[in-house]
Structure 1
Amino acid sequence: MRVHVPVQKAVTAIKDKVRALTHSSAQADLTALLERVNGVLRGWSNYFKHGVSKRTLSYLGAFNCRRTAIWIRKRHPGLTWKHLRRRFMAGGWTITDGQLTLFNPASVTVFRYRRRSVIPNPWTPATRRLTQPT
C-alpha cells in the first residue's frame, strides 16, 4: 500500500514562501505578515491534509513560528526576548498581534482517503433489473 506524504520538493517550496514573506522588509507590520503567512499555510496544509502528513505539518508549524519570531526580533532590535514574549506572544509562545494569531498547521485534522471495495455502477449485470414485458 502506498502512503501519501508531502514530497521534499513541496515542503521546500512552502518553506521558501515563508522565508520570502518573513524577510525583514517584506511586510509593513505584524498584522500584514500574519494575514499573508496564515493564508499561505492554511491553503498548503488543507491541500496535504489527506494522507500521512501530521509530522510534516508539525515541522512546518515550528519552522513558521521560528521565522516569525526572528522577523519580530529584527524589527525591534532593542527589546529583549522577555519583552518580545510579553508584547507579541499570548499564552506562552503563540505569536499574536491582539486580533490575529499565527496559524499552526499541526492543528489541521489529518485523515486518509478510504478505498471503497465496490463502486456502485448502474450498468453492471448484478444491479440491473430485468423488466418483464407486459
Structure 2
Amino acid sequence: KSTEQGFKTLIKPSSKSIKAHYRKLADICDQNKNAPTKALIARLNPMIRGWANYYSTVVSKEIFKEMDNRLWKRLWRWANRRHPNKSKTWVREKYFPNVKETRNWILNDGEYILNQHSDVPIIRHIKVKGNKSPYDGDWTYWSSRIGKHPGMRKEVTTLLKRQKNKCATCGVNFRPKDLIEVDHIIPGSKGGNDTYKNKQLLDRHCHDFKTAKDLKTVNH
C-alpha cells in the first residue's frame, strides 16, 4: 500500500490459512448434520473465536466479513437439507430467528448464538515495552516463557509453557484476566490419572463444553 511516506506493508491472513479455516468449519457442519443447533454452535464458536482472535492484529476486517458470509451460506444449506419439505420461511424462523440486541440471520436457538468473525475487533499490534518484568502482572506471558511465576501454581505454569500460552482446544492465547482451568484429558471416571500427561489447560467455555461431552459419554 502506498502512503505519503512511501510504502506500507499490509499483513493479511494467507489464502492457505483462509481455505484451511473454512474447510474446518465446513467439516464441522458436515459432521453435525443431525445434531441439535446448540451442539453445532458449541463446536463452531471456539474455532471461529480462535481464528479471528489470532488474526485480529492484522488487516482482516474484510476477510472476516467474507468468512461470515461463506459460513452463513453453508449453514443455510445445512438447515434446509434437514427439512426438505419445509418452506424457506419456516427454516429461517427455526434456525435464524431474530434475537434481541443481535443482528438478523445469525444461527441461534434462542439461547446459544453463533459467534461472528466480524465481531472480533481489529487491534493493531503494539510493540512490547523494554521495561517488561515478570512482576508486571502478565502472569500468562511469563509463565509460558519461563515455566514459572511468583504466586502461581507450578502445575498451571508448567502447562502454560507446554501449551505455549494457548487453550488446548480452541488455540486462543490466554490473557491474564481469562478464566483458565485445568482439565483431565481422560476423565477420572474413565480411568484417567492425575499426571501431567493427562492434563491440559482450557478456557472456561471450552472446559464446560468438554465436561458436558465427557458426562454424556459416561452416561451412555
Given the two structures, how large is their TM-score scaled by the length of structure 2?
Answer: 0.50
Provide the residue aligned with 2:113 in structure 1.
101
Cα distance change, pair 4–27 in 1 and its aligned pair in 2 (3 A) = farther
Q: Deviations over 1:77-132 (max 9, x none)?
A: 1111111111221223122112111111101100211458x856xxxxxxxxxxxx
Question: Any conservation in 2 of the 1:27–1:33 contact (CA below 8 Å)?
Answer: no
Provide the residue aligned with 1:71 in structure 2.
78
**Ranges in structure 2 where 5+ consecutive residues have no aligned partner:** 1-7, 99-103, 132-220
Cα distance change, pair 101–25 in 1 and its aligned pair in 2 (3 A) = closer
Q: Deviations over 1:34-67 (max 9, x none)?
A: 1111111110000000111101111111111111
Give me the CA root mean square deviation. Answer: 2.1
Provide the C-alpha distance between the structure 1 equivalents of 2:11 and 2:34, rounded to a whole number of angstroms.
Answer: 34
1:12 matched to 2:19? The reply is yes
Give the share of equivalent positions with the same residue, in percent: 24
Provide the C-alpha distance between the structure 2 equivalents of 1:93 and 1:42, rounded to a whole number of angstroms.
Answer: 19
Given the two structures, how large is their TM-score scaled by the length of structure 1?
Answer: 0.80
Q: Which has the higher contact order (CA 8 A, sep 6+)?
A: 1
Provide the residue aligned with 2:89 in structure 1.
82
Cα distance change, pair 82–108 in 1 and its aligned pair in 2 (3 A) = same
Cα distance change, pair 119–24 in 1 and its aligned pair in 2 (3 A) = closer
Provide the C-alpha distance between the structure 2 equivalents of 1:113 and 1:24, rounded to a whole number of angstroms.
Answer: 36
Cα distance change, pair 11–24 in 1 and its aligned pair in 2 (3 A) = same
- State the 4+ residue runs in structure 1 displaced beyond 4 angstroms: 24-27
3-state SS in 2 of match to 1:94: coil
Moved more, 67-76 or 24-33: 24-33
Provide the residue aligned with 2:172 in structure 1.
none
Provide the residue aligned with 2:63 in structure 1.
56
Specify the code of the residue in structure 1 equivalent to 2:42.
E
Deviation at 1:15, TM superposition (A): 0.8
**Ranges in structure 1 where 5+ consecutive residues have no aligned partner:** 121-134
Deviation at 1:28, TM superposition (A): 2.0
